[in-house]
Amino acid sequence: MASVLPIYHNYVNLPCPLPLSKPSTTFNTPIILFFPKTKPSLTLKCSSSASSLTPELDQEEETFGNFDEPPLSESWKEIQGLNNWDGLIDPTMNPHLRREIIRYGELAQACYDSFDFDPHSKYCGTCKYHPSQLFEKLNMSQTGYMISRYLYATSNVNLPNFFQKSRLSTSVWSPHANWMGYVAVSTDRDQIKRLGRRDIVIAWRGTVTYVEWIYDLKDILRPALFSDDPTIKVESGFYDLYTKKEDSCTYCSFSAREQVLSEVKRLLHYYKNEEISITITGHSLGAALAILSAYDIAELKLNVVEDGRNKIPVTVFSFAGPRVGNLKFKERCEELGVKVLRVVNVQDVVPTVPGIITNEKFQFQRYIEETLSFPWSYAHLGTEMALDHRESPFLKGGMNDLGCAHNLEVHLHLVDGYHGKGKRFCLATKRDIALVNKSCDFLRSEYGVPSHWRQDENKGMVRSRDGRWVLPDRPILEAHPPDMAHHLQQVLNNHLAAQQFETST
């Protein structure tokens, strides 16, 4: 009989078992979609001419090749980057990879869609939904995942334009914390069968269309201190966000790092007899946290099974992410087997920083970094999937809006239409183009989709019994599970045991 993971309901002492049956898809959506006066159901077709695309266009669809691919359950390790995605992106885009990139991108997008960033809300800086309801509230019950815990980070770091705080004196949320994402695990039998393994997902929140935070980075490298090698360095702002804690704040009494490591340790122990993958995803600053946490997990050897020889795959699907560390950091991630697929829009500025002067494209980077100890040497890692929003006939390709070029939904739209370098843009999964304008204004006007259309019904306001409109109280989650300190100790024990094993062999 399949095991049931105890996930702490509201983080109380009694575990709440999760059903393994497929979640119900009957629910009330909290989202309003403003349908345009023009034809609301667009027939999306391919065309080499952007000017010929109209909502009423009726044209033969073009298919790019006949794919006779093995099922994902048989090829998932390659899709997760076993061979660094060689031959899966170019010359022809692998359909399994396309769907998985979009799927993980949507899990990252859920962090935005559920985050309360309204400064007029007393809950600003929190997640709007209980972890047991988040996917349902976002029309994502079919994901087959259950959230096992939420992640928080202290706002007392030098990223002033990233954190959100309430302007109200009646705020019930901590002034020192922001909700940063979640850890989830696949629990649906059909999904596990399709994936070919049980998947642990870590999703980090980043920035929606706001890119100014990148200019607040001090561009200072500091030793990562996750290993004994002080030459492995990462950007100081990312490091602080990941590792700092605030003792006076319940939610940040443990750092984001400690929250992630303890939860991964708990899940890996619970599913220790199963085939498992660890997948980390994030957009923008969330992509930086995804790479940093992936490196951390691998460096501490949490993904090394008990015999000390086999490794659980650790994969990052990064969207519009900046550079995180120096060349030594890149090389160490490669040594540890961390696989990173970076999805970028070449028109987006964020992936070009930090490290504008010295980066992986500079011929003498190693000499400058190692011999001259140049303090601003950064390097991207992993495999890059370079997209260009000017290739999509659905978008306002000529505009210079940095926020739109950086938007996650725009990236997912570009992935859907990408078929290989130099090939014509054509939507493969027919993903709704209206999603592009959820939080930006990038679709061409003839599609009649309002900009920034996504919002909660009545912005979360409900009518009370006396007829007044009020913002209802939300259940206050206990910040951390009661056994977190225990699992953190297990992380330390695991690391010490791995070091002893390496010494003995």
pLDDT 10s digits, 263-292: 999 999 999 989 999 999 999 999 999 999
Helix (H, G, I), strand (E, B) or coil at 387: strand
Query: What pLDDT, on the 0 to 100 scale, is given for residue 356?
Result: 85
Q: Output the pLDDT for position 364.
A: 86
Nearest to 120 by CA among 440, 461, 353: 461
Task: Quickly count: other Cβ atoms within 10 Å of residue 239's Cβ.
Answer: 24
Question: Span 63-75, mean pLDDT?
Answer: 74
Say yes or no to pLDDT of 398 above 50: yes
Given this model, what pLDDT does residue 438 score? 95
Query: If we measure between CA atoms, which residue out of 414, 478, 477, 484 comes closest to residue 442?
Result: 414
Residues comprising the chain, all counted: 505
* pLDDT at site 420: 96
Is residue 408 a contact partner of residue 320, using CB atoms and an 8 Å limit? yes
Whole-number Å distance between alpha carbons of 193 and 108: 22
Percent over 90 (pLDDT), the chain: 62
How many helices and strands (H and E) does the chain possess? 12, 13
Strands 198-204 and 177-186: antiparallel
Cα–Cα distance for residue pair 268/297, rounded to 1 Å: 12
The CA distance from 379 to 325, in Å, is 6
Q: Cis link prior to 230 (omega < 30° from 0)?
A: no
Measured CA to CA, the distance from residue 205 to residue 280 in angstroms comes to 11
- Which token pair is 38? 């023009």
For the CA atoms of 421, 424, 428, 434, the dihedral, rounded to the nearest 10 degrees, stands at 110
Residue 182: closest CA among 114, 119, 235 = 114
Distance CA 373, CA 488 (A): 35
pLDDT-based confidence at residue 52 (cuts at 50, 70, 90): very low
Alpha-carbon torsion (370, 372, 375, 377), positive or negative: negative
pLDDT tens digit string along 211-257?
767 776 777 899 998 988 999 999 999 999 999 999 989 999 999 99
Token representation of residue 179? 């909700």
For the beta carbon of residue 467, count every other beta carbon within 10 angstroms.
6
Q: What is the pLDDT of residue 99?
A: 98
Query: How would residue 399 be classed by pLDDT, with cut points 50, 70 and 90?
Result: low
Q: For residue 173, what pLDDT is reported?
A: 81
Q: SS3 of 67, please?
A: coil
DSSP state of 109: H
Q: Where are the alpha helices (DSSP H) in 319-432?
A: 327-336, 365-370, 402-406, 408-417
**Least confident span in 19-23, 428-432, 497-501:** 19-23
Contact 20, 2 (CB under 8 A): yes
C-alpha torsion angle, residues 321, 99, 196, 106 (rounded to 10): 50
- Collapsing DSSP states into helix, strand and coil, what is residue 311? strand
**Active-site positions?**
284, 348, 406
Cα–Cα distance, 191 to 143 (Å, whole number): 8
pLDDT of residue 54: 40
- 395 burial level (CB within 10 Å; 0-12, 13-18, 19+): buried
Considering only CA atoms, which of 290, 312, 241, 368 is closest in space to residue 108? 290
Q: Please report the pLDDT score of residue 308 as a whole number.
A: 67
pLDDT of residue 20: 35
The rounded mean pLDDT for the chain is: 85
Please report the pLDDT score of residue 236 as a whole number: 92
Ranges 91-105, 149-163, 209-223, 430-444: which has the least confidence: 209-223
Per the structure block, which two tokens stand in for 213? 């935070």
- C-alpha to C-alpha distance for 250 and 380, rounded to whole angstroms: 35
- Residue 285 host element (H or E): helix 285-299
Q: What local confidence, expressed as pLDDT, does residue 31 receive?
A: 40
CA 207/CA 225 separation, integer angstroms: 27
pLDDT above 90 for 207: no
Compare 481 and 476 and report the one with higher pLDDT.
481
| Residue 333: pLDDT over 90 | yes
For residues 75 and 69, the answer to whether their CB atoms sit within 8 Å is: yes
Mean pLDDT (whole number) for 92-105: 98
User: Nearest CA to 152 among 473, 484, 409?
Assistant: 484
Are 415 and 341 contacting, i.e. CB atoms less than 8 angstroms apart?
A: no
- Is residue 5 predicted with pLDDT exceeding 80? no
Predicted pLDDT at 47: 35
DSSP letter at 447? Answer: G
Q: What is the pLDDT of residue 30?
A: 41
Q: How many CB atoms lie within 10 A of CB 141?
A: 18
Of the pLDDT bands very low, low, confident and very high (cuts 50, 70, 90), residue 63 is very low
Give the number of other CB atoms < 10 A from CB of residue 233.
24
- β-bridge partners, 379: 325
pLDDT of res. 348: 93
Could you give the CA distance from residue 318 to residue 407 in angstroms, rounded to a whole number?
A: 13
What would the mean pLDDT of 67-72 be, rounded to a whole number? 81
Residue 406 token pair: 């950086």
pLDDT-derived band at 406 (thresholds 50, 70, 90) equals: very high
Please give the residue that has the higher pLDDT: either 382 or 400: 382
Per-residue pLDDT tens over the stretch 108-164: 999 999 999 888 888 989 999 999 999 999 999 999 999 999 999 998 787 766 788
Report, as an integer, the average pLDDT of 378-407. Answer: 91
In order of their start, the domains of the chain are 87-504 (3.40.50.1820)
> In degrees to the nearest 10, what's the CA dihedral of 338, 339, 343, 348?
30
Which amino acid would we find at residue 251? Answer: Y
Residues above pLDDT 70, as percent of the chain: 84
The pLDDT of residue 360 is above 50: yes
pLDDT at 58: 33
Mean pLDDT score, 485-503: 81
Tell me the C-alpha distance between 228 and 217, whole Å: 26
Residue 397: predicted pLDDT: 74
Using the CB atoms, write b or e for 74-97: b if 16+ within 10 Å.
Answer: ebbbbbbbeeebeebbbeebbbbb
